[in-house]
Chain A
Amino acid sequence: MKNLIDLLKWQPKKEYNFSISEAHSSQDNQDNENNSSTNETQNVFTSLSKNLEYIKVKYNTLINSDIIIRDFILTARNKQFKAFLLYIDGMVDSKIINDFVLRPLMMKNTANSFEGDQNRVVSESVTHNITIRKVKKFDIVEYISSCLLPQNSVEQTKSFDEVIPGVNSGNCALFIDTVDTVFNIEVKGFKQRSVESPQNEIVIRGSQEAFTEVIRTNTSILRRLINNENLVIEDISVGKLSRTKCGICYMKNIANSDLIAEVKYRLNNVEVDYLISSGQLQQLIEDDSRYSLPQIIATERPDNTSNYILEGRVAVIVNGSPYVLIMPATFPDFLSSSEDINLKFQFANLLKFIRILALLISLLLPGIYIAITTFHQELLPTELLFAIVSSKQNVPLPIILEIVVMELSFELIREASLRVPSPIGSTLGIIGALILGQAAVDANIVTPILIIIVSITGIASFAVPDFYMSFHFRIARFWYIFAGFFAGFLGIGITLFIHFAILTSIKSFGVYYLSPYIPAMHINSKGYFLSPMWKREKRSDFLNTKRERKQKHISMQWKYHNEK
């Protein structure tokens, strides 16, 4: 009884209100852009400690989990040099590093045995009792390269600018004290699932690579695609028992620091015993779990993920799950396919328009049909009305039952065909859709027009790119059906309005769900519809990124270079 009273009592809402601040002033922004430009030409220092310091800063090694720096003593001609190897875990073949880099460098062998200050005699001739020795001065760099690195591909370079991309792509860099040259040794050997294409996010023009279950493989794929040292992959383990490794990936110089901190905060404060998949994590860190709306993007496509990360969002990779979570997510993101940016903007916008149609159809069509047939018959063109009437006359069920039964059996077919082994699946689809539907019409259980409505709705719900989002529409559709049945367009209007209210009240990691449209901010290039590629100059405003522009004002320099 007390509980009942408590229930009726009004309680103030506990609101969790996080929003991304615009703390990062333009000055900060400029610094960032300046930094990256001055750093371009940095040469390798002669001092190893300086180099080490530089690399540590550059790669954020304190928080970056997969950047490995291996200190060791290099022995060359009995002289010992301090040195370190820099590589990224998961990108290199550790066997190669062990056998062909570290072993020759650290082991004392015959080639190494003579003393360092001995000069190498190139030729010796005795004339007039004077021994003339042509001596080549000992060159440690040359020596190492020619004697100590049994590797097919070793490059020497003096600037960080050339080293870092190499490291990012899976090479290891050898830094040696007192030497201002770096060896860029190819030891690539990341693990790859034998090239597998995405199962659920299929595109035509676009990479056919998908994430796998192993976190290191996934991070290496991201590293390769993004290929920039500012990509930070932080490790956090979630789950008291399982201690599942999760990697938080973001661009240090792009993503908003508040956002990064918030993601870390939420992940760190998830108190569960175990976590096996990203789907579980998604539910645990979502802003509002009351609604069926997805608030985090889950994707199995590395190219998609890289695009989002470079745009300033944060990705979370969960070990053991081929789906990477991306946050924050907005409503338009769920209606975008990763293929869109690969297509010319006209094609992409046509597809996007069709997806909006699909959204409206899958959400509203059955509801509107029932509203029209029950309350607003005059809306139908006369001929169509008579067609419906004549087919409806022999059907005993009221329209609401008809439509609910049909929708439910559609969901049933959908669910059942997921469960059965795939060879049978198509048979089931045929039986379910064709034979049952035809039989139901012939037996006067449903009207043919209803079959059309339900099938169009079904098809439209498949055209929504995101699986979660189409799920949401499937559920919401039933609300609209009931609303349309109870009160026609009044009911649909009410449901639609509450739907609006829910959409506008939801935030995903501090970003309003309907951004950039509601609240109407300055909508720069990233709206739902795409502008031409050269015009997409800025990152989304709602992300408050540290780097606003993603391309120069004139990106096609080859064409408009002279006009500048």
Chain B
Amino acid sequence: MKFKYIALTLILLTFAFLLSGCDDAKSVDQFSYVIALGLDKGETNKLKLSLQFPISGGSEGGSSSQSSSSVTYSVECISIEDGINQMNNYINKPINLAHCGVIVFSEELAEEGLSTFAYTLTNTIEVRPDTNIIVSRSPAEKYLKNATSPLEEVSARYYDIILSSSEFTGYTDDMTLSDFFYSLNDTTKEPSAILGNVSTSQTSKTNSSDETNSYKAGDTPISPSESIENSGIAVFKGDKLVGELDNIETMCYLMVTNRLDKCTITIPNPFQESETIDLQLTLRNNTKNTVYSLDTNPYVEVQVSMNAQILSMTENAEYLKDENLPILEEAVNSYLEKIISSYLYKTSQEYHSDISGFAKEAIKKFLTWDQWISYNWHDNYQNCFFKVTVDTTIRSGRLFIDA
């Protein structure tokens, strides 16, 4: 009988404990969730941290449209944690980074080196490793503030969508914090990031050739402007930004690293002067990279094989005829070879940065780790010679076979 009372007391105590615990437990609405984080070089301080929060439309009357928009706050601070602390003080709700979709660095900051930030952010358990890394040519704060699209409500999903567009354009790559962090420490690859900008609609260059126009982020002549645009890749050497690739070079990068899903190119028509042909490319086989002769001048052979589909059509075009097909394929091949080798030499001679990861092939030639480290691939990369062979097969056109 006594036991009963003791049990009862214990249960009551537990409930008392429970009710007192109610205050401690943080329920889901007591956090403010960050959907994007931006880092700029500060004006008065070391850093300028920008955080984008969603404004959950205070569903008064349960408005179905849920017109949630976002708000971006910025703070000058010494470090990320310091900035978050100050922001905590301002917002009065603990900031939670678990749902942060993108991290934006300004170009200026990236040129100085991102090592500390990459380590800090990776070390923060809340930040997901698959958060995307963007290097913005405009200030990160501006980038976040302009992250609006009339087609999409601004929220984490917007970032998901704009970043997954690379799957069908091939204009940029889906690069995450963990990719960045690991290639920062990896001996086989240099880091890279998505290149972003706020589009201004004033293109700096006029392009009149018969090829696909190559633009970097923000240069694309699209109107209306003042929205964000991701196009191209930011190339790092170590943790420092050394250069930027435009959209065509990004395509080459994807081809060489064997990650291309689908892309569209425009080449001069070999049959008709001043006409163009549009082709959609997919990878046929895995790209084969081979590294020969590991002295100071490594020799790299890149074999790309593509499938192509002709998208454009003109009068009297007989692209798929037996005698025309090799000519067309040859045209595609030579075009691709040209842009790929120019991309490769740009990375090696201009940027000295092996973002394509040829080191992964080179490392196969070594038996032990010490040999590999002492060879110092990344210093030798700038002396690389490249041989690019492209083998394209044109599979089909669209509706018309001949016109």
Contact = CB atoms under 8 A, between A and B. Distances in A.
Are chains A and B touching in the complex at the 8 Å CB cutoff?
A: yes
A400 B15 CA distance: 12
A7 B1 CA distance: 11
Given A383-B155, A383-B157, A482-B18, A374 B56 contact: no
Interface in B58-93: 58-59, 66, 68
Given A373-B27, A482-B18, A378 B56 contact: no
5 contacts: A383-B156, A388-B28, A392-B28, A482-B18, A486-B18
Interface in A1-16: 3-4, 7
Contacts of A3: 2
Contacts of B403: none
A4 B7 CA distance: 12
A390 interface: yes
B156 A391 contact: no
Contacts of B155: 382-383, 386
Nearest to B59: A390
Q: Interface centre among B27, B101, B155, by most A CB within 10 Å? A: B27
A486 B99 CA distance: 23
B28 A377 contact: yes
Interface stretch (B29-37, B104-112, B341-349): B29-37
A388 to B, nearest CB: 6
Interface string B18-42: 1001100111110101010000000
Nearest to B127: A378
Given A378-B128, A393-B29, A386 B54 contact: yes
B29 A485 contact: no
Contact of B6 (A7, A374, A385, A386): A7
Nearest to A379: B98
A390 B58 contact: yes
Contacts of A383: 155-157
B2 A4 contact: yes
Interface residues of A, number: 25
Contact of B58 (A373, A377, A388, A393): A393
Contact of A378 (B18, B54, B99): B99
Contacts of B126: 378
Interface string A161-196: 000000000000000000000000000000000000
A401 interface: yes
Nearest to B14: A482
Contacts of B128: 378
A203 interface: no
A398 B22 contact: yes
Given A7-B3, A389-B56, A482-B18, A373 B68 contact: no
B56 A386 contact: yes
B55 to A, nearest CB: 9
A399 interface: yes
B56 A393 contact: yes
B96 interface: yes
A366 to B, nearest CB: 14
A377 B21 CA distance: 19
B98 A377 contact: yes
A527 to B, nearest CB: 39
A377 B96 contact: yes
Given A3-B2, A382-B35, A392 B58 contact: no
Nearest to A377: B28
B68 A374 contact: no
B59 A399 contact: no
Interface in B152-180: 155-157
Given A7-B2, A385-B99, A399 B58 contact: no
A386 B27 contact: no
A3 B96 CA distance: 52
Contacts of A398: 22, 25, 27
A482 B14 CA distance: 10
B57 interface: yes
Interface residues of B, number: 30
Contacts of A485: 18, 21, 25
B27 A399 contact: yes
B142 to A, nearest CB: 24
A4 B21 CA distance: 30
B22 A401 contact: yes
A256 to B, nearest CB: 37
Interface in A381-417: 382-383, 385-386, 388-394, 398-401
A389 B2 contact: no
Nearest to A393: B29
Interface string A465-477: 0000000000000
The prevalent SS among residues of B at the interface is loop
Given A382-B99, A383-B157, A401-B22, A390 B28 contact: no
Given A4-B2, A377-B96, A378-B98, A486 B28 contact: no
Q: Interface centre among A4, A7, A398, A485, by most B CB within 10 Å? A: A398
Contacts of A382: 33, 35, 99, 101, 155-157
Contacts of B25: 374, 398, 400, 485
A291 to B, nearest CB: 15
Contacts of B156: 382-383, 386
A482 B98 CA distance: 25
Q: Interface centre among B56, B57, B66, B156, by most A CB within 10 Å? A: B56
Given A377-B96, A378-B126, A383-B155, A389 B29 contact: yes
B33 A385 contact: yes
Contacts of B157: 382-383
A373 B98 CA distance: 13
A285 to B, nearest CB: 24
Given A382-B156, A383-B156, A389-B33, A374 B28 contact: yes
Contact of A374 (B3, B27, B57, B96): B27
A253 to B, nearest CB: 47
Contacts of A7: 2-3, 6
A100 B29 CA distance: 84
B122 to A, nearest CB: 16
Given A4-B2, A389-B33, 6 more contacts: A377-B98, A390-B58, A393-B58, A400-B18, A401-B22, A485-B21
B65 to A, nearest CB: 12
Contacts of B26: 374
A393 B128 CA distance: 25
Given A377-B31, A382-B155, A482-B18, A390 B99 contact: no
Contacts of B2: 3-4, 7
A373 B96 CA distance: 13
Contacts of B28: 373-374, 377, 385, 388-389, 392, 399
A377 B27 CA distance: 9
Nearest to A441: B62
Nearest to A374: B25
Nearest to A373: B28
A72 to B, nearest CB: 62
A399 B18 CA distance: 13
A390 B98 contact: no
Interface in A340-382: 373-374, 377-378, 382
A430 B54 CA distance: 37
A388 B156 CA distance: 15
B29 A392 contact: yes
Given A4-B2, A383-B155, A401-B22, A392 B27 contact: yes
A314 B21 CA distance: 50
8 closest A-B pairs by CB? A390-B56, A378-B98, A382-B156, A392-B29, A373-B28, A3-B2, A382-B99, A399-B27
A482 to B, nearest CB: 7
Interface string B202-243: 000000000000000000000000000000000000000000
B22 A386 contact: no
Nearest to A385: B99
Given A378-B99, A398-B27, A386 B33 contact: yes
B67 to A, nearest CB: 11
B163 to A, nearest CB: 14
B130 to A, nearest CB: 12
